[in-house]
Amino acid sequence: MDPSDEDRAAFHAAIRDVRPLRHDRNTVPLRKHPPRPEPVQARRDELAVLAEMALADPSAVEELEYGEELLFARPGVQRTTLRRLRRGEFAQQAALDLHGLTVPAAKAELVAFLNQCRARDYACVRIVHGKGHGSPGRLPILKPKVAHWLAQRQEVIAYASARPVDGGTGAVYVLLRRGR
């Protein structure tokens, strides 16, 4: 619907004194975009893994332990795979909790668990060994044993301490060789 002659006249009367703005004085300066966030901690983690891997003998099995964190990879495991494992990016298909077990019982449970996982062709599992806070001297007993036992198993291609939400340094993510 077109405006009536009265509406047009009222509109023109209302804007009679309006003048265009000058562009040189009345412009608003644009804000610069904030810098993109940098994944500083992720970069530090990558550099730490690279530094540790550079120092290791590439012909030998890589078993690295720094601080309380466990990290192991067989030769040929890509750095990106190891990094993804440390970040917990692989779906865990099974979990085993060894809390409170004696060393012989823990070894038996671990062997049975790994055999079961291999039979089911699992790729990634989580093993909770504990941090040793309940042990004499508050030192971990199962943690170094589990690390040693896993490194001896040929189906284990890598393991890394879990993220805090999955047990932190009291657990490991384990990558298993697939296919029979």
* Per-domain boundaries in the chain: 46-176
pLDDT at 59: 44
Q: Which amino acid is at 93?
A: Q
Nearest-angstrom CA–CA distance, 86 and 69: 10
pLDDT at 180: 56
| pLDDT tens sequence for the chain (180 residues) | 788 999 999 999 999 998 876 666 666 667 777 778 887 777 777 676 666 555 554 444 444 444 588 999 999 999 999 999 999 999 999 999 998 889 999 999 999 999 999 999 999 999 999 887 777 777 788 999 999 999 999 999 999 999 999 999 899 999 999 875
Sign of the alpha-carbon dihedral angle for 136, 138, 139, 143: positive
Q: Residue 118: how many CB atoms within 10 A of its CB?
A: 17
pTM: 0.62
d(CA 94, CA 116): 10
Task: Count other C-beta atoms under 10 Å from residue 70's C-beta.
Answer: 24
Q: Residue 69: in which H helix or E strand, if any? A: strand 69-73
The class that CATH gives domain 46-176 is alpha beta
